[in-house]
Structure 1
Amino acid sequence: MTVTGIISALVVGLIIGALGRLVLPGRQSIPIWLTILVGIVAAIIGTFIANAMGVGDTAGIDWIEVIIQVALAAVGVSIVAGMYGRRRLG
């Protein structure tokens, strides 16, 4: 993986993670680095799912792929926020 690829993954992870946090109601008290990590994982898994469904490479913006990625990020942020909050309290 090149430096450009790493930077791209961080930017996409930040955007997808932030969008995942935005669609969740309430406040998630997890650090930004964890949001980025969840976003990167959600982007990678979402891309695989979209490609498996045959909608990963369309003309223009791949809206279905983005929706899948954001939904996965929202689920991931929700799970991580619950685990992170419990770890800090316990």
Structure 2
Amino acid sequence: MGWLWAIIVGFVLGLIAKAVIPGKQHSPLWLTTIFGMLGAIAGNAIAGAFGVASTRGIDWTRHLFQLIAAIIIVALGDMVYMATLGKRKYGTS
């Protein structure tokens, strides 16, 4: 069940990150989901470093760290995707 939640959270974080980043991102949905999962992992680690990994109720601070990390990872990951595979697929130079 943990993997299913990781995929769902990664999918949602990746989509929110794509919506927040200005411009068009060319990375496919499966890669965006992986980027979102990495953002969730990085956000949890950062929240743990700040001592807010677990609180009572909804962990808004932890979720904010996850979202910020996902935005950064999706933006950087899309740049790497376009620099490698995207040029051949989209015909840009």
- TM-score, normalisation: structure 2: 0.85
CA distance in 1, matches of 2:12, 2:20: 13
Moved over 6 A (4+): none
Shift of 1:40: 0.7
Pairs within 5 Å for 1:1-90: 4-87=1-84, 88-89=86-87
Gapped regions of structure 1 (runs ≥ 5):
none
Which residues of structure 2 form unaligned runs of 5+?
A: 89-93
Distance 1:20 1:54 in 2: 24
The answer on whether the counterparts of 1:24 and 1:78 sit within 8 Å (CA) in structure 2 is yes
What is the CA distance between 1:49 and its match in structure 2? 1.1
**TM-score with structure 1 length normalisation?**
0.88
Structure 1 counterpart of 2:75, one-letter code: S
Offset at 1:16?
1.3
Q: CA offset at residue 22 of structure 1?
A: 1.7
Give the Å deviation of 1:80. Answer: 1.1
Pairwise CA RMSD of aligned residues?
1.2
Matched length: 87
1:9 and 1:54 map into 2 onto residues whose CA distance is: 22
